Amino acid sequence: MQTVKMVITGPFNSGKTSFIGSVSEIPVVRTERKITDETRNVKNQTTVAMDFGRITIDKDLALYLFGTPGQKRFDFMWEILSEGMLGFVVLIDSSRPETFREARRILDTFRSYSNTPFVIAANKQDDEDAWPADDLKIALGLDSNVRVLPCVATSKESVKNILLELLYVILETAPEEPAPARKR
């Protein structure tokens, strides 16, 4: 069976685990352990390695979703995870502007690995403090051609929409395939 992968990245507590969990057909495999640093106050447990989900496309193909580690000290994993990915999603908690700078740093780091297609997901749009996707785009100083999409990571439909948008971007850059040889 052939496998392809997408990477879901973003700052700590931006919703990566929920995002993958919303569409994965297997329970998201994750490693979690008690955290002992300054992020302690944000949530009681956090992802220290990464999340991993799967969507079976057909009998010959599966899509794997890899969530990157939430905290800075695990950023050595990013390049490893980005190897061979189809594209990536940068998930941002739109209600926490204090994380926007970190999101931009993550985006720049991933773009430096390769020119793989990506989209930005402005998550937690159901929060009344959430910045609109268009404002987020300006705040992040992104080019006009970058797609910044509203997202609610706990909603399957919303996550589906983000992944489809990413796939459309990937499709735009995918190489043309040679036409099959004609039979005589």
For strand 2-9 and strand 87-93, is the pairing parallel, antiparallel, or unpaired? parallel
Q: In this complex, which beta carbon is closest to another protein, that of residue 69 or of residue 136?
A: 69
Q: How far is the CB of 174 from another protein (least distance, A)?
A: 5
Residue ranges in contact with another protein by CB under 8 A:
1-4, 23, 26-27, 29, 31-32, 48-50, 52, 54-58, 61-64, 66, 73-74, 77, 80-81, 83-84, 86, 156, 160, 163-164, 167-168, 170-171, 174-177
Compute CA 157 distance to the chain's CA centroid, rounded to the nearest angstrom: 15
Residue listed under structure tokens 């949530």: 43
Q: How far is the CB of 84 from another protein (least distance, A)?
A: 4
The amino acid at residue 16 is K
Alpha carbon distance 32, 38 (integer Å): 16
Q: In this complex, which beta carbon is closest to another protein, that of residue 86 or of residue 146?
A: 86
Q: How far is the CB of 131 from another protein (least distance, A)?
A: 27
Assigned token pair, 124: 């937690």
What Rg, from alpha-carbon coordinates, does the chain have?
Answer: 17
Residue listed under structure tokens 């302690």: 40
Q: How far is the CB of 183 from another protein (least distance, A)?
A: 19
Q: In this complex, which beta carbon is closest to another protein, that of residue 139 or of residue 170?
A: 170
Q: How far is the CB of 95 from another protein (least distance, A)?
A: 27
Q: Helix %, strand %, coil % for the chain, to 5?
A: 35, 25, 40
Residue 117 parent element (H or E): none
Q: In this complex, which beta carbon is closest to another protein, that of residue 141 or of residue 175?
A: 175
Q: In this complex, which beta carbon is closest to another protein, that of residue 27 or of residue 141?
A: 27
Residues present in the chain in total: 184
